[in-house]
Amino acid sequence: MRRFPALEGLPPYVFAEINRLKAAAAAAGQDILDLGMGNPDLQPPRVVLEALSEAVEREDAHRYSDSRGILELRQAKARYYERRFGVKLDPETEIIATLGSKEGFATLARTITAPGDTALVPAPCYPIHAFAFIMASGAVTGLPAHPGDELLRAAEEAIRMAPRKPIAMVLNYPSNPLTVTADIEFYREAVAFAKKHDILLLSDLAYSEIYFGDTPPPSIFEVEGAKDIAVEFTSMSKTFSMAGWRLGFAAGAPHVIGAMAKVKSYLDYGGFEPMQHAAIRALDHSESAGADVRARYESRRDALIAGFADAGVDVPAPDATMFVWMPLPEDFEGGSVAFAEHALKTVGVAVSPGVGFGPSGEDHMRLALIADEDRLREAAGRLAGLYPAAAKPRIVSNG
Ligand SMILES: Cc1ncc(COP(=O)(O)O)c(C=O)c1O
């Protein structure tokens, strides 16, 4: 049979079997509590939907758009960066709209990767952080996913050992799946490190507005000079619950954004223009949208954690994101896919197996806060039943 090079290095999709079981259970009328995919169930802000309806009536609404995103949209993104982070970005040369940040990340990897190039990525990671390079005929080296000295030491060692210097390092804070956050001091060290080794930093800030403490996650561009070597990805999907709209952004180093713009000009014509107009409205309401979405996910997080606590399982509350990253029961014999199947079959809860985020996630599962509080409590109670009584207090860390 013909081999397709693009498939080389892509393992079987771990969620496929879970999805099959989920569909079968739903078809059989079973009530499945689905905490699998990070697919927001909340509604976008009303003003955004109104802006979409208005824009759809425009006579020029249905034509091809600009593959970089319309200028007004890039200007709205620049205003957001300035208000939120005190960072100035040039909408002409330093910002590009993407068809979701996932497409943006993949296009960037395709833009910067030559066959055999390596990137340094967190382990475990959101899958595209690794597979974007693999699909571009590159390779990846996994690094600790927690921000700190250990990560930078491992990166230093990876560079020292590599036959060819890595081209980029991926940072993702608040992180999926670990839910950990980074402070500006870490970014300062990472920027100094990247400059010393002349590698690009790719920061995925998809969860910029989903945090529960008093300190909002910083942008890497708050570090002086970061724009020389960093590109940062942001998304409309989580802050504004616009996941299906497929709209994100890449911003930063003008030579990289310019190169991406050229590649994208061959690939697409930009997103549907009414959506871009509505996204401008959303970005200009980022403070209220962010506050609303935080309140919702915080209350859901608390319900899930309380549900576990009531059943005697102590799970630390994550500081950010819409996920809980949780060790499997110690006595469970089998990996995370087997556990996910077991949870679905025995207690009707769908979870993401940790191995979906790389081999280092194998002894964990990820729960997404995509149901209301009652159902999350119910899901926690059911899952807690899979943790043997003696093992219940053993969960001490969610990283
Ligand atoms: C860390 C991270 N980056 C990017 C994305 C994808 O975002 P988008 O919908 O903008 O492609 C996700 C989605 O779950 C994510 O968790």
Residue 78, token pair as written in the block: 């620049």
**Number of the ligand 1 atom closest to the C-alpha atom of 102:** 11
**Number of the ligand 1 atom closest to the C-alpha atom of 246:** 9
DSSP letters for 28-58: TT---EE--S----SPPPHHHHHHHHHHHTS
Task: Give me the numbers of helices (H) and strands (E) for the chain, helices first please.
Answer: 12, 12
pLDDT in tens, 277-313: 999 999 999 999 999 999 999 999 999 999 999 999 9
Q: Which residues is 230 bridged to in the sheet?
A: 201
What mean pLDDT comes out for the span 67-71? 98
* 12 C-alpha to ligand 1 centroid (Å): 20
Ligand 1 atom 12, closest CA: 206
* 256 C-alpha to ligand 1 centroid (Å): 20
Query: How many degrees, rounded to 5, is the angle at CA 194 between CA 223 and CA 248?
Result: 65
* 383 C-alpha to ligand 1 centroid (Å): 26
Question: Does ligand 1 come within 6 angstroms of the Cβ of 172?
Answer: yes
> How does residue 167 score in pLDDT terms, banded at 50, 70 and 90?
very high
Q: State which fold the 62-286 domain adopts.
A: Aspartate Aminotransferase; domain 2 (3.40.640)
Question: Does ligand 1 come within 6 angstroms of the Cβ of 98?
Answer: no
Under CATH, which number does the domain 5-43+288-385 receive? 3.90.1150.10
Q: What percent of the chain stands above pLDDT 90?
A: 88
* 311 C-alpha to ligand 1 centroid (Å): 32
258, 21 Cβ separation under 8 angstroms = no
Question: Does ligand 1 come within 6 angstroms of the Cβ of 40?
Answer: no
CATH 3.90.1150.10, the chain: domain bounds: 5-43+288-385
Residue 392 has pLDDT above 70, yes or no: no
pLDDT in tens, 203-215: 999 999 999 999 9
What mean pLDDT comes out for the span 67-91? 98
Residue 267 has pLDDT above 80, yes or no: yes
Q: What radius of gyration do the chain's Cα atoms show?
A: 21
pLDDT in tens, 1-29: 888 888 888 887 777 778 888 888 888 88
Average pLDDT, the chain: 94
